[in-house]
Chain A
């Protein structure tokens, strides 16, 4: 594997199934890990598991996308790490659209969890990557951000904003030797999708992570995972708006 022993990864939203698979894969390569999220007990368990699997270091740290005060300790800890530092964002929230339609105040929370909170952290990680002349940022956006749909357009809007942010950040870090991978997963087999009707071609988190790590090694810019979602989304984006507005897909 390409990740050097000294690479330290900050993982945001580390309790999610995809983040857990990512942390384990990085641990097996001997990376250092800072696992950030809200569920302290769960993160402590993940940190122990990553140490067992070969992580050079793994520690749990509290981070709440809606509480900017939790950012500084993370950045402080990451800055202490020797060698290359990188970050991966798996945070996000998707309350049912029907609930948001009834209570639009929920929109701010979705935006904070899926866009502004992670972006705030990444904007503080970026100077570390620039200073060290290396490092990768993996941002998990969503196919839902490629076109607003009646079923989850607030979540989609937040992910679209995050994808646009990542695009700009890639442009910025590219000048300093850093790299940004935007990941747009389709349906992934996680607690979020378990038992939801209408799921198809559901990918295991480990498969998604394998494609993410391949993209990191090859310095890909934007990946869809599983790959065929790129073509599904080409079709969905190509539907003319007068027709699309009548669809419920």
Chain B
């Protein structure tokens, strides 16, 4: 059978949809499907909101093979459903890594292009699509090869799948000198110290954990982690654990999170420290706990991620104050510098500070999200659509000024709008205005 009906959810488990899903296992089947029944491609559905929801879709999870790898040049061609964590695990011992790795290794290569994902090295390396040499799109008229410089490439990079399923892609890997991470951790006293340190850091990989429950003078305190790949003894791989059931509501209640965060901060001595970690633990800290999204209970959670310009530190401070006051924050909050954007109309990363935070879907979450979205818009920033579950169409349109032209070009290629996902419909991303 080609189609199976399943209920699918975004990773945050708040937004859900009943979907007819096809799951081709071979390129030939995928091409035939794309010709006879065009539908958006879905990978491992790690987008938090509804970017990975659609009424009808092609799952790429079985199109996950590496088609060629040149250990001299670090050029790798693979089917789009290959997971970046799988690539990293196999490549690191060979001296290579995927050039950009998001916070989960379960992200697929196709998803990484469609969301133009960024990693802890964005300030040096840019986002994922900057490392793509070429890709193959499945279209109703047959496969089309696309390379950087083609107008179609800019529509596809960060293009939310709206140019059709990516069948395969060739990427340039990053050369690494070893297979462990040397991580230097330093406590940051407050937001200004944090932003200054982020600006000053020239480590290859930089990320900040922020205590989003802190208020007053401690607002914005956290830990700055600067990492580089090094050679070392590889600690034995730990087995993944699975969250067997939905956690009860109090598991991530405000007092629990406050206590946890304070302890987590003190774990790093006041003078800082340097530790050695397995590569996967550094890049994908949560992947060892399978289905960790169930820790938020059956109501699920939202993730808010914005980027604001470098001069918008006060806006960042206001947002953190609001989050602290709402007592909704989870332990998961990240602050990072992004380097200059790639210029693709729907690609999220642009220069500035990016704040990402998980918010349990409890009372008050909607109000807080609305306030954070508005504050982002006012600061001249934008929200990451791969995370979004709460923007208004007007906000999204204003945050992505290239959207209208992008929509026109995408609609010309797909007038039936077969590739629209739930996110694209909710935010009317393909409407003229």
Q: Which A residues have a C-beta under 8 Å from some C-beta of B?
A: 15, 17, 20, 39, 41-42, 45-46, 48-49, 52-54, 190-191, 194-196
Contacts and interface: CB of A to CB of B under 8 A. Distances in A.
B69 A52 contact: yes
B65 A46 contact: yes
Contacts of B27: 41-42, 45
A91 to B, nearest CB: 16
B28 A42 contact: yes
A39 B26 contact: yes
A195 B4 contact: yes
Contacts of A48: 65-68
A48 B26 CA distance: 14
B66 A17 contact: no
Contact of B1 (A20, A54, A195): A195
B16 interface: no
Contacts, number: 47
A80 B221 CA distance: 66
Interface string B1-36: 111110000000000000000011111110000000
B177 interface: no
Q: Which among B25, B62, B69 has the greatest number of chain A C-beta atoms within 10 A?
A: B25
A195 B28 contact: no
20 contacts: A15-B26, A17-B62, A39-B28, A41-B28, A42-B26, A42-B27, A45-B27, A45-B67, A46-B65, A48-B66, A52-B66, A53-B90, A190-B25, A191-B24, A191-B25, A191-B62, A194-B1, A194-B23, A195-B2, A196-B1
Contacts of A194: 1-2, 4, 23
Nearest to B71: A52
The 10 A-B pairs of least Cβ separation, nearest first, read A195-B1, A195-B4, A49-B65, A52-B66, A42-B26, A191-B25, A49-B66, A48-B67, A45-B65, A52-B69
Contacts of B185: none
Contacts of B225: none
Q: Which among A15, A20, A195 has the greatest number of chain B C-beta atoms within 10 A?
A: A195
Nearest to B25: A191
Given A15-B26, A41-B28, A194-B23, A49 B4 contact: no
Contacts of B25: 15, 17, 20, 190-191
Contacts of B68: 48
A54 B90 CA distance: 9
A191 to B, nearest CB: 5
Nearest to B6: A195
Contacts of B90: 52-54
B77 to A, nearest CB: 9
Contacts of B65: 45-46, 48-49
Contacts of B29: 191
B79 interface: yes
A15 B24 CA distance: 12
Contacts of B3: 195
A52 to B, nearest CB: 4
A195 B59 CA distance: 13
A30 to B, nearest CB: 13
A98 B23 CA distance: 25
A15 B27 CA distance: 11
A192 to B, nearest CB: 9
Interface in B360-377: none
Interface in B25-69: 25-29, 62, 65-69
Given A45-B65, A52-B90, A194-B1, 17 more contacts: A39-B26, A41-B28, A45-B79, A46-B65, A48-B67, A48-B68, A49-B65, A49-B66, A52-B69, A191-B23, A191-B24, A191-B25, A191-B29, A194-B2, A194-B4, A194-B23, A196-B1
Contacts of A45: 27, 65, 67, 79
Contacts of B24: 191
A53 B26 CA distance: 19
A196 B62 CA distance: 18
A20 B25 CA distance: 10
A219 to B, nearest CB: 27
A39 B31 CA distance: 14
A39 B28 CA distance: 9
Interface string B287-298: 000000000000
A17 B90 CA distance: 21
Interface in B65-116: 65-69, 79, 90
Nearest to B76: A52
Contacts of A41: 26-28
A190 B66 CA distance: 20
Nearest to B63: A45
A194 B4 CA distance: 6
Interface string B148-160: 0000000000000
